[in-house]
A and B are shown apart, each in its own frame.
Chain A
Amino acid sequence: MPDFTDTLRPAGPGGPAILAKERDSSDVPVEQLAQHLFPSNDFLGRQERIVPILENNKLFDKSKQQNLSRPERYRLGLARAKQLRRYADQYNWEDEDLNVAQYLCDDVSPYMVHYSMFITTVREQGNEEQRSYWLPKIEAMEAIGCYAQTELGHGSNVRGIECQARWDPAKGEFELHSPTLTASKWWNGTMGRTANHAIVVAQLLVPKSAESKDYVNHGPHPFIVQIRDTQTHKPLPRIAVGDIGPKYGYAPMDNGYMLFDHFRIPHSAMLSRYSWVDPNTCTYSKPANPAVVYGSLTAVRASIIMHARLIMARAVTVAVRYTCVRRQFQDRDSNDKRAPEMSVLDYPTVQIRILPLLATMFALHYTGAAMQSLYENTRAQIDQGDFSKLAVLHAQSSGLKSLCTELAANSVETCRRALGGHGFGGGSGLIQLNNDYLSKPTVEGDNWMITQQTASYLIKRMSAAVAAKTEPQDEVEAACKEWLHQGHDKRSSPLQIFDSDEQLVEAFHRRSRYLTYQAYIEREVKNRSWNSLLIQLRKVSHAESQSILVTNFHKALQNPSSNLPPPLKAHLRKLFQLFTLYTLDSEARDFLKASAVSDEDLDRLPDRIQQLMAEIRPHAVNIVDAWKIPDFLLDSALGRYDGRVYEDLFNRAHRLNPLNKVTFNPYYTSDEIEMGGGDGELRRIVAKL
């Protein structure tokens, strides 16, 4: 409906002009940087091909989805998931294309667990017969599956799960049973409404012999189970399954609950590539090496870090573009009363929140890439059963998962708040992102729990280095040995962090070794209880992870094969320094204690950081542009590439908002809610509650 607002324009200077100026005044080569960031797998090409397909289908229009109720939002998610799968057939997409399409659609899809954990588990843990039976059905989506491990009462501690699978030698079947309410499967994605099959992880109980009444618990094992009728889609008898209700985010996903009442499944349901129950003798055979699962877990964690960097890139893109367009207050020191208001990004209080994150995106990128290639390179060894390289990689990956997902989750919220009031609005584009991503610090290993794995490994290596009986088992132990050899456990002189990048990197190594050594003393020498050390152990893990991030960032810039043009390399080096010095500043005390930096240098840090931010500031827009996040994915009025911030905000409020289609009766003396609806309306509303 046309009205007088159609002709209104934002007060000048307009967003497009501001961003054009930002882009013109920076010499950061956007396309070169983009190629540097996404060199493999044709990621940018796929993105460019798929965006128009989705943009042209109204189903993927995101403008109204925030208004939907939970059931409606799930319905939309299901419709999109089906459509994407049909596109995959229609355009002959590779798996990677479907992944990119899902990334762009930005729903946590109801099919997600089917495509990931369900199929992976069958592939990795099924024996040949099971694979050839199930995989065609799964790929054709006749069997739609989920992965049911976590329970109402148990998450991270897999050994504590309560669901049971009891082998009945007489009938030649397993009996799945949930003995308590807390044994209910819980949180399992795709299970609530969508799946007709599930991988159920249950405690395997097997009689001592075919005649015995005594059962032995062999621990958690995976079973593939049909849970719903393939025609009616109703739960099978003796199964209670449903959706667990609304969450902070993940609205299109049907995370579910599931209980079994003495539910019988055949012998072939137990996925038996590694462990097996002999149906006749009741003999149980164990997996050859329990480390087999580490390999894929490490790959998963590398991809979590690569994903985290894209999450940060989205948040920082929105924050950088909007804080350039947004102006607030004149410069206090300016004498010109009519000077325009300042770009918010010119305030150091805004820079200190956003620019270190801009640098952190790159830090995550180089470490994620390094882990991926390390994993690829050691894969051959892993396949031959040599896990020596993997142990250190696995231990490091726990700590990195914890630190990186935490950094990414917090970055979204930091960026959102740096947007001021509009950050709270649906037009910021950071709300769903925040809501969806916030699950990450607690899933796939709670961030506070898994740092223990990293710390425990480091302490072991330090113990070995102190004992000095054998050749170092890995690089960590070698580094511990070198640190001890230098006498750093006693005293040493600080490094000159402003003199060279190498010294700066070395400072991170030294501080990590120092904290590891302190933890070793507390645990191994003073025999302090594990529980009383948990907080310290987390610091040990984070220090090591930060040291890895800094090292990989530095290595990537030194790498001659990257062919970085010198001007671009100079910019990246500033980002390296900002990330490194900012991190150092926030953990200053540990560095001081470790004799890694001098007190005087610490005093100089804030000024140096502010100076680096001032140098990076003019290039911020070009740098985020190079991350190539399309507007379709950003879904943000504030972060639009073209800077038409206010026009878009107004359009969303005025034209796309369903609440504005209703006229309400605001007077309390009347029970009518919608104008013309009559007094019976209150009853209608109460009836819905």
Chain B
Amino acid sequence: MTRLFRAFGAPLASVILLLSGVWILGLIAAPQLIMIEQSLWRMERPEGSAEISVQIDGLYNRLDVIGLDRSVAESETDSAKRETELAALAAEEAAIKAEIAVLEEKESTPVKVYTLDNFGQMGSAHLAIFAKTIVASLAVSAIALVVCYPIAYAVAKLETPRTAAAIMLALVIPYAINELLRIFAWQMILNNNGPANALLGLLGFDPVPFLDSGAGVFVAMVYAYILFMVFPLYNVLETLDSNQVEAARDLGASTWQIHRRVVIPHARPGIAVGCIMTFMLSAGSYAVPYIMTRGTAAPWFTQLIYNRFFEATNWNVGAAYALSLLAVCTVFIFLMMRLLKVSLKDIAK
């Protein structure tokens, strides 16, 4: 800290600390912590509420009795006596009503209780969706890796630098075009009367309900996020010394052996970044399932989260769901870093 003040002088160092603090604490740490906290409690009826309701029932009975007493009192002929009795009953009635109000308030005001129940709310249906989301996201990552590796290798190592630059620039265009548009293109293609089904029709097949079956979600997801694999892979493979490949070949390695022993080990950071990005984007994608299902196919986990917050308005359960998703992503990141022996510095290039 003293180094900071020495390097920039007190006024500037203070500004730096203030801005960093707002960002790290105010925008990153505090919201995350509050979300975690929110997932850990819920409002419950207070303890002893059963006894209170018995008590309230008793008091309501008492009110009925007073009603009877009043009708008796009203038939009293002596007006003075009648007035005093009625006044006494009215006073008693008011007192009981006040007591009921207090008790009812006490009975119905929920109290904040810390519990892990929010996570247990998922139930088997939601748990299945959660599992499906994870498995599908893993599959998206795996497909992206398999499809993109040859592309990245071919561009980085077999093309001239000029051609490689042109190819990568061309790929920047679909990459930079808004995610929604990339998804929408596929919604059109896979629509019941879209070109995919038109083509199938020409071949004599019945139309396939891609969108209603949920298959469309997967197809669009691969398309939307595949380029997040190409660029990290290309960036690492570009730094591979071609002599390494030639040396391995000269020493007798086959194409497969060259990739297994030399190219893939070199590409580990890129593979890690690509897999983490595609997995994280797929598992956390709201746009793809939202647009590609039209509400007909089974929802994606992100849609469940959205519903908890903005439709069922149970924020505590919603926070628990969101936290589960975050936990899965975090575990995946650590797993990839462990498996591929890369550090966070390698990942955020």
Whether both chains belong to one complex is answered with no
